[in-house]
Amino acid sequence: MNLLHLSLLLLPLATAQSLSDLYVSQAPSSPRPYVVPHYANSHAVTIGSQLYRFTVTGPSSGYAFTLMSTNAPSSGSLGVLPHLHQAHYENFFNFKGRFQLWAQHGDGEQHARLLTQGDYGSVPRNTTHTFQILDPDTEMVGVISPGGFEDLFYTLGQNYTSATNTPYVPQATNDTSSSTGPSPNDISGLESFDVYAQLDFAPRRDLANGSAPAPTTTGWHTDAATLGQPGEPYFVANNYGPKYLNSAHGAYQIVQPLVTNTQSQDTNFTLSTIIMGRPRGGDDSVAPTWKAPGAAAFEVLEGAVMVRIGDYPVARLEMGDVAFIPGEVEYQYWTEGAYAKVLYVSSGKEGVDQRLIAGGTHWEFPTFPRY
Ligand SMILES: *[C@@H]1O[C@H](CO)[C@@H](O)[C@H](O)[C@H]1NC(C)=O
Ligand SMILES: *[C@@H]1O[C@H](CO)[C@@H](O)[C@H](O)[C@H]1NC(C)=O
Ligand SMILES: *[C@@H]1O[C@H](CO)[C@@H](O)[C@H](O)[C@H]1NC(C)=O
Ligand SMILES: *[C@@H]1O[C@H](CO)[C@@H](O)[C@H](O)[C@H]1NC(C)=O
Ligand SMILES: *[C@@H]1O[C@H](CO)[C@@H](O)[C@H](O)[C@H]1NC(C)=O
């Protein structure tokens, strides 16, 4: 090989990173900074009428966590037969639409909730659970730790691609091929994927005001919610959980933890929503630079969020777009709008959410001060 050929080979490495390198349509096969737009067919599969997408995978996160979405029409039956996972902590977040979630740990009481936009359900290991999709344009976002659980869906589903990136494929209601999830026989054969069928579980239907057991002193969507004891399932309605206001970094931020290391234990992740106002004085150069030992990801829930990761140019993420940041990589984020909200997941104990909480104060509102 002569010198000219050698320098041509080396040239791309020396070139500055571009936005088109940052944006991917599919979560990559090893950790690196990336952005996946909403509804990209990232490792997409269909299971009956449900369309699953995996925006962060085991390989793309170094097996820290999986971030996924499920788009599906309303259904008269469960989305999957009742089951539990012994090794994986599963988190259900309502991105839009409505679904019902059931969870029971051991001999504890069976809980059911109706989840609307922004509501959250926590399903720790060894918790029997199932769900049912109830509105025509529903999107569940799932966070599963550790990463790699998507292999189950690759095995069960049909690989899927779409030129229009439709959320899910419309099907005539008389189409009987739209059964969801594996049959009783098949789900019982999935233990190698950490799926343990619980076919004796009878989902209760006695919900009142979106909750069973009936809301008492801590009503669903009426009273402040707390995070659960380690190992126990729990639910946090949108903006009813604990809140912390942080104003130390040039903009107001409100963190609402959904899972801290107290709940995740050795599954070693944290999950929060973060609300942000625009940098005070409109000066985005004040946006702080963050870095942590563990991988992290954002999914935009409302508004638009600017993100600069490592050496890549600034990206503008809108609702449903996902940014992934590997451990030890520097990043900044801020919003140019008046109000933005993200779902944030981090591996380990030192994510931005925990640091904003540590530097913040207890706060009662999902909005920040007037000045
Ligand atoms: C389906 O997708 C998975 C993961 O994205 C991939 O590993 C597999 O090779 C694909 N299978 C087919 C038949 O294309
Ligand atoms: C889950 O259940 C299995 C089987 O009973 C047990 O070995 C494991 O320790 C349990 N895991 C947790 C975190 O309790
Ligand atoms: C479903 O209904 C449509 C419109 O009425 C009809 O054209 C189609 O043949 C039906 N399909 C099945 C599977 O019955
Ligand atoms: C449901 O909510 C309504 C309105 O807040 C309340 O009056 C009623 O008592 C609730 N029902 C139950 C079973 O909690
Ligand atoms: C928790 O995660 C962090 C970040 O990924 C990692 O550095 C640490 O070793 C993990 N701790 C345990 C106990 O697995």
Taking residues 277-297, what's their average pLDDT? 88
- Of the pLDDT bands very low, low, confident and very high (cuts 50, 70, 90), residue 186 is confident
Question: Which ligand has its closest atom nearest to the C-alpha of 177?
Answer: 3
With helix as H, strand as E and coil as C, how does 225-250 read?
CCCCCCCCCEEECCCCCCCEEECCCC
Q: What are the DSSP calls for 40-69, one per residue?
A: --TT-EEETTEEEEEEE-TGGGTTS-EEEE
Q: What is the pLDDT of residue 187?
A: 84
In contact, 156 and 106? CB cutoff 8 Å: no
Site to probe by mutation for ligand 3, drawn from 174, 175, 176, 179 as the one with most ligand atoms within 8 Å of Cβ, is: 174
Q: Residue 185: its pLDDT value, please?
A: 84
Question: pLDDT grade, residue 15 (50/70/90)?
Answer: low
35-44, 143-152, 177-186: segment of lowest average pLDDT = 177-186
Is 1 a residue whose pLDDT tops 50? no
Section 237-255 average pLDDT: 97
Residue 355 has pLDDT above 50, yes or no: yes
171 touches ligand 2 (CB under 6 Å): no
| Closest atom, ligand 2, to C-alpha of 265 | 13
pLDDT of res. 220: 95
Report the residue count for the chain. 371
214 lines ligand 4 (CB under 6 A): yes
3-class state of residue 278 by DSSP:
coil
> What residue's CA is closest to ligand 2, atom 3?
86
Ligand 5: atom nearest CA of 268 is 1
Looking at the predicted structure, is the pLDDT value of residue 179 above 70? no
In the block, residue with structure tokens 């589903």: 157
Q: Are strands 66-72 and 99-105 parallel, antiparallel or unpaired?
A: unpaired
Contact 206, 111 (CB under 8 A): no
Let me know: does 304 contact 316? Beta carbons within 8 Å: yes
Nearest CA to 90 out of 146, 156, 157 is that of 146
- pLDDT reading at 217 higher than 80: no
pLDDT average, residue stretch 113-126: 98
Q: Which of 38, 43, 88, 90 is catalytic?
A: 90
**pLDDT per residue as tens digits for the range 18-52:** 999 999 999 999 999 999 999 999 999 999 999 99
Residue 183 has pLDDT above 90, yes or no: no
Q: What is the mean pLDDT of the chain?
A: 93
Most ligand 4 atoms within 8 A of CB, residue of 209, 218, 220 to mutate: 209
Question: Is residue 248's pLDDT more than 90?
Answer: yes
Burial bucket for residue 306 (CB in 10 Å: 0-12, 13-18, 19+): middle
Element (H, E) at 13: helix 3-14
Note whether 192 and 152 are within 8 A (CB).
no
Which ligand sits nearest to residue 175's alpha carbon? 3
Say what percent of the chain tops pLDDT 90. 87
**pLDDT band, residue 5 (cuts 50/70/90):** low
Cβ of 159 closer than 6 Å to ligand 1, yes or no, is yes
Give nearest CA residue, ligand 1 atom 12: 159
Q: Cα separation of 202 and 301, whole Å?
A: 33
Residues 6+ apart with CB under 8 A from 223: 215, 217, 240
The mean per-residue pLDDT over the stretch 346-364 comes to 98
Alpha-carbon torsion angle 334, 276, 235, 297, nearest 10? 0
- Pairing relationship of beta strands 196-197 and 89-96 according to DSSP bridges: unpaired
